[in-house]
Amino acid sequence: MSDPVNTKTWEFDLNNFIPANSATAGGAFLSTRQRLLGIKEILVNNGSTTFTTPWVVQESSDSVTAGGIGYGTGPNDKWLDSGDLVWADDDTGNARSWTVVRQAAISAKFEVLIICEEDSINNDGKQISLWVAQAGFRAADGGTDGTTTTPPTASDQRQIRHSTNFGYWGSGGANTEYSGYTNVWMSSDGQCTRIMILINDTVTGAWAFDVPKNPTTGWADPYYAFAHGTSDVTTDQITYAQVFDAAGVAGRYSGTDTSMYFSGEGMDDNVGTPRGIGQSLDSPNQLNNTYIASEMGLVSETSSFVGRHGQVFDWWWGYDFVRTGRYYPEAGTKTFIQIADTVMPWDGSTKILTR
């Protein structure tokens, strides 16, 4: 089929290299702390990043001091270097780091809370908790303020990663550290942010915080989000298995947590099982050598939210036999790129680094 066409204008921050460093401090490997710090830095335009509509830090904790815009003391952003990211056991009330970042282009107070905590502290930082909310993570907005030992809450918070339930976020498996690259896509209007962590030729982390395209009438302040991560460095994230076969996309509707799938064009796989067309077909189109780029839909089977609820902006299902890093077109404009089983916008010039 023809190359797809972008709806939005995309901005990129690509190939941010984090070298492996397993020096342990603050309950985590150094390079894992640097990797998570780097994501925050890119989102909020610190350093060289120049997104048109960046995220904004609201409050944070460096495990010593907590506070920010909504309450407390000190600067909003207390994550200034990797030493400010301190992991702790999630159920002991130990001092730990966390941060709240806001993207008002998704909804007025759409915020992501990242907490440096693990089910039992493993001194590697490979798990986190991650929540999203639209009401604000602070008492003034109906939640609770955070302290160094107790992260803040929001009245409509929705957990995406859970430290007690395999909170791997993309920094690889436990107890071993890896070099890798962090890539961030952000639409110029701020409505869509996607983060892909590449380690060892694998998409080890795939995060998205988006407004849906053409949302169902009646779905107020729609958003969807996920932050998939693998416990190893060999299992790609953002695959058919994660969000096409399973409800791996989170959202909220009418005060209730919902789960969604990324649907796509599908067909029988010749042995009686419906699958994605990019799974069932195992070669490019034999008439014209083109590759699949199938529109992603948003569907849910959650009670009271059953139905098809829109599409995904500028993100497509591709062939599952194509490896991360193939460009579309393969030479020349390189307008799109294969990332795991999907096709995403690309900047046309940067060579993606995967290992």
Partner 1 sequence: MTLPTLSQNWLLTTNQSVAGDADLDAGGPSGACNCTRDRRQLLLELVGQMIAGGTSNIGPGGFGAVSAWTCRYSCGGNNGGALAAGTPGDGVNRWVINTDLPWNTTGLNRGWMVLRNANIGTYGIELLIDCRQGSNGDDGGLIDMHVGMVQADGSGWTGGTTSTAPVPPPGVSPFKDYMTLRLNEGWAGFANNIARAWHWNMWQAEDGSMTYIVYFYNNVVTAVWMLGKPTNPATSWTEPQFVAGLRGLNSDGDNASYMNDWYETAELKTWRADRISTADTLNRTALYLTADTFDFLPFNQNFTVANQVSGEYPLGVIGMASRESNFHGRMGELPDIYWGLESIGALPGGSYYPSGGSKLWFQFGAMVFPWDGSTAITT
Q: Does 284 contact partner 1 by CB under 8 A?
A: yes
User: Binder to partner 1 among 221, 232, 265, 347 (CB under 8 A)?
Assistant: 265
User: Binder to partner 1 among 24, 122, 216, 354 (CB under 8 A)?
Assistant: 216
Nearer residue to partner 1 within complex by CB, 47 or 274: 274
Cα–Cα distances in angstroms (integers) from residue 93 to residues 74, 88, 90, 129, in the given order: 22, 8, 7, 14
User: Binder to partner 1 among 48, 73, 218, 331 (CB under 8 A)?
Assistant: 218
Minimum distance from residue 168 beta carbon to partner 1 (Å): 23
Minimum distance from residue 262 beta carbon to partner 1 (Å): 7
User: Binder to partner 1 among 305, 315, 316, 336 (CB under 8 A)?
Assistant: 305
Q: Does 5 contact partner 1 by CB under 8 A?
A: no
Report d(CA 206, CA 235) in Å as an integer: 12
Considering only 119-127, 281-289, 326-334, 335-343, which stretch makes contact with partner 1 by CB under 8 A? 281-289
Contacts of partner 1 in 50-69 (CB under 8 A): none
Q: Does 169 contact partner 1 by CB under 8 A?
A: no
Minimum distance from residue 237 beta carbon to partner 1 (Å): 18
Q: Does 248 contact partner 1 by CB under 8 A?
A: no
User: Binder to partner 1 among 48, 50, 73, 288 (CB under 8 A)?
Assistant: 288
User: Binder to partner 1 among 104, 164, 301, 351 (CB under 8 A)?
Assistant: 301
Measured in whole angstroms, the distance separating CA 184 from the mean position of its chain's CA atoms is: 9
Amino acid (1-letter code) at residue 245: D
Minimum distance from residue 173 beta carbon to partner 1 (Å): 28
Q: What is the DSSP string of 34-63?
A: HHHHHHHHHHTT-TT---SS--EEEEEEES
Q: What is the DSSP string of 175-188?
A: T----EEEEEEEET
Minimum distance from residue 319 beta carbon to partner 1 (Å): 11
Nearer residue to partner 1 within complex by CB, 50 or 283: 283
List Cβ neighbours of 329 (8 Å cut-off, separation of 6 or more). 3, 335
Minimum distance from residue 333 beta carbon to partner 1 (Å): 18
Token reading at 172: 């690889």
Report d(CA 244, CA 101) in Å as an integer: 28
Considering only 11-19, 63-71, 174-182, 274-282, which stretch makes contact with partner 1 by CB under 8 A? 274-282
Q: Does 283 contact partner 1 by CB under 8 A?
A: yes
User: Binder to partner 1 among 292, 339, 340, 343 (CB under 8 A)?
Assistant: 292
Q: Does 275 contact partner 1 by CB under 8 A?
A: yes
Minimum distance from residue 239 beta carbon to partner 1 (Å): 13
Cα–Cα distances in angstroms (integers) from residue 102 to residues 13, 59, 114, in the given order: 19, 10, 12
Residue 190: phi and psi, rounded to 5, are 80, 0
Closest C-alpha to 304, from 263, 259, 264:
259
**Angle 118-120-121 (CA atoms, 0-180°, nearest 5)?**
70
- The SS3 assignment for 251 reads strand
User: Binder to partner 1 among 87, 98, 207, 261 (CB under 8 A)?
Assistant: 261
The 10 Å Cβ neighbour count of residue 308 is 14
Residue 83: phi and psi, rounded to 5, are -70, -15
Cα–Cα distances in angstroms (integers) from residue 65 to residues 61, 75, 78, 343, 355, in the given order: 6, 10, 8, 42, 36
Binding site for partner 1 (CB under 8 A): 1, 216-219, 244-247, 253, 261-268, 270, 272-277, 280-288, 290, 292, 297, 299, 301, 304-309
